[in-house]
Structure 1
Amino acid sequence: WVEAQGYAGLVIGHEDPRTFSAGANLALVLMAAQEGAWDDLELATRRFQQTSMRLSRAPFPVVAAPFGLTLGGGAEFSLHSSAIQAHAELYMGLVETGVGLLPGGGGTKEMLFRFTQELSAYGPEIDLFEGVKRAFQMIMLAQTSTSALEARNMGFLRQGDGISMNRDRLIADAKRRVLFMAPDFVPKPPMKIRALGAEGLGNLRYALWQFQEARQASEHDVLIGNQVAYVLCGGDGPAREVSEQDILDLEREGFLKLLGTKKTQERIAHTLKTGKPLRN
């Protein structure tokens, strides 16, 4: 549509004063899982991932203009945009583990690639596990920024992303960024990284075992953590080069596996009913 209409690019934003996006419709997801509509859920998750990647690969600039609550899928769409123009008051996070899931719209993949590539710039001798560990901690702890500046320090915003102090100027600032980027815009090329496989997975599984032994994690917390670790390490095998699609496939599989568990469905139902997380 952007190309057909001759526009320079796309701004993802709106004027609602409350929240940019609180994430997916969990009630609909839970109902589909309870009804056993797994083909529909697999297709929906795949389309979600494909949409994120289309934002990332678009032949024109896509600028997200998040503000306030920017959680789950809202964060994932922002992370995959060409750039972000955020309001200074930004509560951004991948919070899916709070309801027993993992980020399934490309968020797990994106944090892995982002943190690993940051380290790769320092040369082949750098320990890539530090990037994997950083992504693992962020996702498992459902870390959320309390400002746009903190979001930048956490890695949700890149150094080149902008911050608007005036909420009323946010959309205009994002539009200006699109127009600035458009003349020489080149989409991001497909990326590959080295997945750590069994070695990295063993380290993360040992850490999860320690948390469980210290009674700081329940059995289901460990199950969730193992799924997140499996995705971030590219599976349980030898270290190898993987594409974004390889990790997206593992991410989608892990999301659906967790959704199929009774305890995750209990967590979702509890959160929908009370607005609070359940530790079961």
Structure 2
Amino acid sequence: MTRLRGVALVVFVGAVALGTVRDPAPVLSGSAGLMLEADLHVHPFPGDGSLPVWELQREAGRRGLDVIAVTGHNSRAGLAIGRLVPLDPAGPIVLPGQEVTAPGFHLIAVGITRLIDWRLSARAAIADAHAQGGVAIAAHPLGSWGGDDLEALRSLDGIEVAHPIARGPRSVGVRLGEFFNRVRAVNPDVAPIGSTDFHMTAPLGLCRTYLLVGERSAAGALDAIRRGRTVARDSNGRLFGAPEHVAAVERSLAFASPRAVVPGDERLIALVALLALGALSLGGPPR
């Protein structure tokens, strides 16, 4: 029986190792046309998130995302640790960012190269994001934001209009929509954004942004946000955006290629590991 346990242990460890090596790399969602699916508000570990950057990339691929933005609260520690493990160049695009967490506003800065000082005003924080070549998105705005500085509102590139907090009281979703419409009155090209605000529980891409891009690249993703060529999707599948953009997204989704989640050989490896684990448990205590 001891020999059986030894063989089972070797098989189990081997199957787990093989499954890890063969774990399929994240793939792009295969949406027809030049459309990318993005979650632009993702918290990493270390920080308020549960996964390091390289695992966020893999999980994004499993969730059918093409782009994520890693946005720690006033921190780039998660991005720094993320450099320890190379990202998969064939996987989803990972954009560096920050959630500027300040009294009176939260701002998602995407595509930046250094930390933005949280003590800045909303207007100055947006200007800093732009100076770094990034975009600025108002995070989960439910009322007054940044002191309602008109120049700051005019400078925003995007607004989170779809966010998991809207799954609560209906008034929350209404307030997100009201803020978006109020800003759009003075900033007609502001981009509707859907984000999960991932920490530990809500799955990546629960709310997401469809980016109508000129190219599949980080630059293409940022340009789509700047030009307001986005559509936000909430957790119920509702789409928010200009009618022509919504129509383009619906056409693209209708022709999207199906994605294989777990290939057959991966299931076989998992079955072998499970059987080996069962043999270990039936082998009784070692003698």
TM-score over 0.5 (shorter chain) = no
TM-score calculated relative to the size of structure 2: 0.21
TM-score calculated relative to the size of structure 1: 0.21
